[in-house]
A and B are shown apart, each in its own frame.
Chain A
Amino acid sequence: MSGDGASEQARSRFQAELEFIQCLANPNYLNFLAQRGYLRERPFINYLKYLLYWKEPEYAKFLKYPHCLHMLELLQYEHFRKELVNAQCTKFIDEQQLLHWQHYSRKRTRLQQALAEQAPQQQPTQQHGNATAK
């Protein structure tokens, strides 16, 4: 019985930490945390350091939003944590994040355009490329 309880606890802890770490990918949430002063507290900073275990492959494979890992790495630095209090800073981060997010799709459209400009014989290859590109 106690074994079940422990595993249930472990599962919910896993879920909670998984959700929380992915929330760190949201710059607005980071701003919120900074303005509430959470990023200045020692226990919270230690918790961020503890969360670094999500970088290992056997845990990272559960992450849907990998941007959170980069944010977590940046959060280890005090300077970054201090800067997050500014709304301008997080707005900038948000913008850059979106631009980066769009970068791959732009690259893909450019690639598709390049393929489209080639000879029509490439047609079957192009369609095949579309299907497997993502």
Chain B
Amino acid sequence: SYDGGESTKERLVSVLDDLEVLSRELIEMLALSRTQKLPQPGEDVQILEVLVQRDREFQELMAVAQSQGKLHEEMQRLEKEVEKRDSDIQQLQKQLKEAEHILATAVYQAKEKLKSIDKARKGSVLSEELIKYAHRISASNAVCAPLNWVPGDPRRPYPTDLEMRSGMLGLMANLPSNGVNGHLPGDALAAGRLPGQNTHTHRCTLVGRLRGDAPSSSRVRSGFGASGTQQGERGGRGKHELNLIFILNCITGWTTRVTKPQLRSLYLRFCLKNVP
């Protein structure tokens, strides 16, 4: 509704009412004029004129109503269009959010991957070194038992008492060790046949030496092979060889006490003895 507060519908209805009233009056007058004369001679013409005017108004109003209807339709169409656009925008918004989420995840994963690549690179070891080390610890039976091992075999996956005493720390303590009848302890040790290798002795003073304590007294209780055990000082050369054999497997070529040719021959002798 606009200007005057009267909607088209109301106006149409009022015009129709007028028309109804007028046409009724006219009909009444015409019905009356059959029996008696008209009191006012021009009245029927007047009524007709007003009737025609009202009819014209009616037609105008109908035209207006039609155009209003068209506008209304247009409005509805546009509203529908707006709704459609709104839903499109919402859809795009959803997709954008999803895409953002996926990208954020991807970036995060990529960062994690980069981190792990860096970590792996830092911890990388030459494959050749790995193989060398694997060979070293396997060949000496340090991690895998020798195939012919039976209970009673003195070989162990850890340094035995004798080896411990023959090392640098043991020598620093200047302990008398178990030699075997003048044979080079090195040979017997290499062959794994030296008795008393697994004695449950409580005499080790390696730690004592480290702390600067005096060496404690010895109490040797050999587990087996007591027959071959002899207390005695080892010769200087024997000392070196035993030391060497223990250390050779740890740090090849580190020692300066033995010359290179001696080193090589001892190493060869040791290797040959240990070939299964």
> CA separation between A65 and B126, bound complex, in Å?
21
Interface size class of A (residues with CB under 8 A): 35 or more
| Interchain CB contact under 8 A, A64 and B146 | no
| Interchain CB contact under 8 A, A104 and B159 | no
| Interchain CB contact under 8 A, A32 and B168 | no
| Residues on A with beta carbons closer than 8 Å to the beta carbon of B147 | 105, 108-109
> CA separation between A16 and B170, bound complex, in Å?
10
| Residues on B with beta carbons closer than 8 Å to the beta carbon of A109 | 147
Q: Mark B160-171, 1 if CB is under 8 A from A, else 0.
A: 110010011100
A127 at interface, CB cutoff 8 A: no
Given known A-B contacts A12-B168, A104-B143, A105-B144, A62 and B251 have beta carbons under 8 A apart = yes
> CA separation between A68 and B145, bound complex, in Å?
16
> CA separation between A134 and B144, bound complex, in Å?
9
B125 at interface, CB cutoff 8 A: yes
A101 at interface, CB cutoff 8 A: yes
Q: Mark B249-276, 1 if CB is under 8 A from A, else 0.
A: 1110010000000000000000000000
| Residues on A with beta carbons closer than 8 Å to the beta carbon of B157 | 25, 65, 67, 97-98, 101
- Across the interface, A15 reaches (CB within 8 A) one of B144, B160, B168, B249, namely B168
| Residues on A with beta carbons closer than 8 Å to the beta carbon of B149 | 102, 105
Given known A-B contacts A15-B254, A66-B137, A104 and B144 have beta carbons under 8 A apart = yes
| Interchain CB contact under 8 A, B158 and A65 | yes
Contacts of B104-133 to chain A: CB distance below 8 A = 123, 125, 129, 133
| Residues on B with beta carbons closer than 8 Å to the beta carbon of A62 | 250-251
- Across the interface, A23 reaches (CB within 8 A) one of B136, B143, B200, B206, namely B206
A29 at interface, CB cutoff 8 A: yes
Given known A-B contacts A25-B157, A26-B158, A33-B207, A16 and B135 have beta carbons under 8 A apart = no
| Interchain CB contact under 8 A, B164 and A61 | no
| Residues on B with beta carbons closer than 8 Å to the beta carbon of A11 | 254
| Interchain CB contact under 8 A, A23 and B159 | yes
Give min CB distance, A92 to chain B, whole Å: 15
Given known A-B contacts A16-B210, A64-B249, A66-B137, A32 and B145 have beta carbons under 8 A apart = no
Q: Mark A81-117, 1 if CB is under 8 A from B, else 0.
A: 0000000000000000110011011001100000000
| Residues on A with beta carbons closer than 8 Å to the beta carbon of B161 | 26, 28
| Residues on A with beta carbons closer than 8 Å to the beta carbon of B133 | 61
B140 at interface, CB cutoff 8 A: yes
| Interchain CB contact under 8 A, B158 and A97 | yes
Given known A-B contacts A15-B251, A16-B169, A62-B250, A29 and B164 have beta carbons under 8 A apart = yes
Q: Spell out B's residues near A (CB within 8 Å).
A: 123, 125, 129, 133, 135-140, 142-147, 149, 156-161, 164, 167-169, 172, 200, 202, 204, 206-207, 210, 246-247, 249-251, 254
9 contacts between A and B (CB under 8 A): A15-B247, A23-B164, A23-B204, A25-B157, A64-B136, A97-B157, A98-B145, A101-B145, A105-B149
Q: Please name 11 further chain A to chain B contacts, defined as beta carbons within 8 Å, in addition to the given A33-B207, A66-B142, A102-B149, sorted by A numbering.
A: A19-B164, A25-B159, A61-B129, A66-B137, A97-B157, A104-B143, A108-B144, A134-B135, A134-B138, A134-B139, A134-B144
